[in-house]
Structure 1
Amino acid sequence: MPWDAHLHLHYQRRGDTTVAHHRHHGPLRLFHSLYPEGPGICHNVIVHPPGGLVEGDTLHVAVQADAGTHGLVSTPGATRFYRSDGEPATQRVHIRLEPGARLEWVPLETIAYPGCQARNALDVQLAAGSEWLAWDVTALGLPGSGQPFDRGCLHQRLCIEGHWLEQGRLDAADARLLDSPVGLGGHRCLGTLVLASGTPWSRERRERLLDAVRAVLPDGLNPLPAGATCPNDHVLVLRVLGPLVEPVMALVQQGWSALRQAAWGLPGQPVRIWRV
């Protein structure tokens, strides 16, 4: 039987402390709240005990951050979409930030196994004064294990309501997309880092944020093709391509650290769970 799992995570303010309340159905769990940066920033780890999604499985995560809260959400391992012979496996994430809230969505990578049929969607709503710092790192196949992405399909969607919409189909049969210079150029790992605001940035702040993230990027296209831009005055996007997860994730984490410091004046110390 396919899994149908739901997790609702709600950040609330209690004095100077951000507290997390949650409820779940099916195989999705939340670790205890941690406060390595003090009571104002609540760190949480979402756990999916089965370890991956097969055909027909659905994971639905909803996160709400009330006014003035700051949450950081990660995972202890990769999200794995395994081979499917029928129905797609689906992960849906809905995030809502109230005025002045901050949320960091920084899971480990998503792996599309050869033969998978997968859908991965992330929808975000930002109120005035709220900011969202997040990434998505996706690996197609497992080239290090001799399992190329030679069949299968992954649908990706990222929507920041009113400010940004990106969706596409990564099909193993689409050689133009996967191998051409105007596509992935033969790379099989792609990373996206996003900082988005419910209130438009001034030109000065936009340029300061871009300078901060560009300072960590390599010169030219080696060793990794990467670039950062602001498509509008609410959104900053960093793109990275690479042959494997590790170098892409390392650069995305450096960008996260730089933006965290430039946007919020907070240290960019890596989250402990990433090193476990």
Structure 2
Amino acid sequence: MAWHASLTLDYRAEPATGGTRADFRHDGPLRVLKSLFPEGPQVCHTVIVHPPGGIVGGDTLDVALTLGGGAHALVTTPGATRFYRSGGARALQAIHARVDGGGRLEWLPLETLVHSGAHADNRMRFELAPGAEMFGWDCVALGLPAADAPFVAGDYRHDIAVGPRWLERGRTSATDAALLDGPCGWAGHRALGTLWFAAGSPLAEDRRERLLDAAREIFATHSLAATAGATSPQPDVVALRVLAPRVEPIHDLMAQVWRAWRALAWAREACVPRVWRT
């Protein structure tokens, strides 16, 4: 039986208190586990949970987020998103966020694990109005190397659209050896991480350079220095990309850079979600 689940998250600023208010609606097995305010009322930390624990062929998960001006939300998950082996039908997770001017979004879920034999689509679209800003990341692992279960069948397709100008689209098949093992592709690795900071209008050049310099300084001394890089693919986006055999060192590097970028971009010390430590 296929699951069809949706979750709508609406955040709005409350000028009287200086806080962010969150309203949620769900249909099916996708819901908010908890909303927390470890940084005070201004930033709402939301933990999304999918009780079935994985996505199989025929499943569809839809998450829609809206942030009003002045609202600030950090959204994460308590565990990995898993795409399981399919008999042929595709599984879909779709994220669509709209952030109004003055809003801030941090989309920081834990990793996506694509099991061998999965046919999976992961689509993310973030619409940023002028004056809106966000952090986001995506970490995906093909197969389960720790369980000696390599990615030998199936395919994974992802789309990431951020702001008005940055679109990334990937199509990875288990039979595409040139992509998976070639030097211009995954280069023999099976985990890929992308972290970005984006705005609804072009970032000042000196601001972009400070973010890039901070990322490069961090990964220069990291164990993944040889497979990490930071660039500004568009005037409104700064991105970090990294490859590794497994997701754990990728998460460590991206979290370090996110903490540094948050302080530089927003003059706000990073508050690591508690669920990352459980």
Taking structure 2 as the reference length, what is the TM-score of the superposition? 0.97
Partner of residue 22, structure 1: 24
- CA gap of 1:73–1:220, structure 2 versus 1, over 3 A, is closer
Cα distance in 1 for partners of 2:274, 2:178 equals: 39
**Shift of residue 167 of structure 1?**
0.6
* Matching of residue 4 in structure 1 with residue 7 in structure 2: no
Two-structure CA RMSD over aligned residues (Å): 1.3
Partner of residue 191, structure 1: 193
- Deviations 1:165-219, CA, capped at 9 Å, x for gaps: 1111111100011001111110000000010001211111111111122221135
> What SS is found at the alignment partner of 2:35?
coil
Partner of residue 163, structure 1: 165
- Aligned identity (percent) is 50
**Shift of residue 3 of structure 1?**
0.5
**Shift of residue 268 of structure 1?**
2.2
Task: Answer with 73-82 or 13-22: which moved more.
Answer: 13-22
Task: Answer with 29-38 or 126-135: which moved more.
Answer: 29-38
Partner of residue 244, structure 1: 246
Cα distance in 2 for partners of 1:228, 1:253 equals: 14
Cα distance in 1 for partners of 2:136, 2:184 equals: 25
> What SS is found at the alignment partner of 2:251?
helix
Are the counterparts in 2 of residues 13 and 19 from structure 1 also a CA contact under 8 Å? yes
Partner of residue 207, structure 1: 209
Are the counterparts in 2 of residues 213 and 255 from structure 1 also a CA contact under 8 Å? yes
Ranges in structure 1 where 5+ consecutive residues have no aligned partner = none
> What SS is found at the alignment partner of 1:38?
coil
Aligned residue identity for 1:48:
H
Ranges in structure 2 where 5+ consecutive residues have no aligned partner = none
Cα distance in 2 for partners of 1:83, 1:214 equals: 37
**Shift of residue 258 of structure 1?**
1.0
* Matching of residue 53 in structure 1 with residue 52 in structure 2: no
Are the counterparts in 2 of residues 224 and 242 from structure 1 also a CA contact under 8 Å? no
Aligned residue identity for 2:102:
G
Aligned residue identity for 2:90:
P
Partner of residue 74, structure 1: 76
**Shift of residue 222 of structure 1?**
4.9
- Deviations 1:110-158, CA, capped at 9 Å, x for gaps: 0000000000000010001110101000000001100000111000100
Task: Answer with 158-167 or 179-188: which moved more.
Answer: 158-167
Partner of residue 107, structure 1: 109
**Shift of residue 32 of structure 1?**
2.9
Task: Answer with 215-224 or 42-51: which moved more.
Answer: 215-224
**Shift of residue 161 of structure 1?**
4.2
Are the counterparts in 2 of residues 53 and 89 from structure 1 also a CA contact under 8 Å? yes
> What SS is found at the alignment partner of 1:44?
strand
Are the counterparts in 2 of residues 139 and 245 from structure 1 also a CA contact under 8 Å? yes
Partner of residue 139, structure 2: 137
Cα distance in 2 for partners of 1:72, 1:119 equals: 24
Q: Where do 1:115-154 residues align within 5 Å?
A: 115-154=117-156
> What SS is found at the alignment partner of 1:184?
coil
Are the counterparts in 1 of residues 138 and 193 from structure 2 also a CA contact under 8 Å? yes
Aligned residue identity for 2:60:
T
